[in-house]
Amino acid sequence: MKFAEVSKQYGAVTALDKITLELEEGKITALLGESGAGKSTLLNAAAGLIPFAGTIEGVGKVSYLFQSAKLLPNLTLIQNLRFVLPAKSEANAEEMLARVGLSGREKSYPHELSGGERQRVAIARAFLFPHDTLLMDEPFSSLDLALKKTLVGLVYELWLEKKSTVVFVTHDVREAALLSHRGIVLKKGRVVYDAPIEEPFPRDFFRPQPVESAFVKALTGETEC
């Protein structure tokens, strides 16, 4: 995926300032930064949800995993999953629901689930939808620590099967270090740090990763590429 001179203005505010990047296909890239840094704006530009200046190439078909589950409330869990599938692939929905730990809940409705369970369904739906690129906007931010550990591992396991290109927004350096092949820090719409994460998978959720300190320094302005 290639971003060339990508810019976005909201009135007098520059959300993205001529960002030029090339992301490797089949890898997971984390976008980090404080609120207003331009992370979600860049994600939404890649998804084609907002107009912008510059060019973005190589995105292909997009699946989007939001911070909130955004399930269809009038559909059961299995119907929510089948909604995004071609007719010939509907059998995959039950298997995926079991993969995310919700076997037997096929006929439940979203309001009958906890927030963490709804996010499991959202993850299942995002991976089921035929896609080339998966965009994730802070998908773990509202979860408690134990559930975050489980779902970070689940996302990695599901990614391993397809190895699509993933770009995900987070403000959590641990999430980025655990799940990504590369971390990019944005500040005021510009890239201020960009580095590979070379530790082998799977990574230990309870052990700080070496790259985390570099992310923190970039986020606090002590390091800039």
Averaged pLDDT, 42-53: 96
Q: What is the pLDDT of residue 92?
A: 84
> Is the pLDDT score of 35 beyond 60?
yes
Cα-based angle 21, 186, 121 (whole degrees, multiple of 5): 90
Averaged pLDDT, 23-48: 94
> Is the pLDDT score of 133 beyond 80?
yes
Average confidence score pLDDT of the chain: 91
Q: Which amino acid is residue 217, in one-letter code?
A: K
Q: What is the pLDDT of residue 224?
A: 52
Q: What is the pLDDT of residue 90?
A: 66
What the block records as the tokens of 142 is 């509202």
Q: 72-76, 92-96, 109-113: which has the minimum mean pLDDT? A: 92-96
Q: 56-70, 84-98, 108-122, 150-164: which has the minimum mean pLDDT? A: 84-98
Is residue 209 within 8 A of residue 199, CB to CB? The reply is yes
> Is the pLDDT score of 225 beyond 90?
no
| pTM exceeds 0.85 for this model | yes
**Residue from 118, 127, 120 nearest 101 by CA:** 120
- Residues 111-140 as b/e (b if ≥16 CB within 10 A, e otherwise) read eebeebbbbbbbbbbbbbbebbbbbbbbbb
Q: What is the pLDDT of residue 89?
A: 67
H-only helix segments in the chain: 39-47, 77-82, 91-99, 115-128, 145-162, 173-179, 212-219
What the block records as the tokens of 42 is 């860049």
> Is the pLDDT score of 86 beyond 80?
no
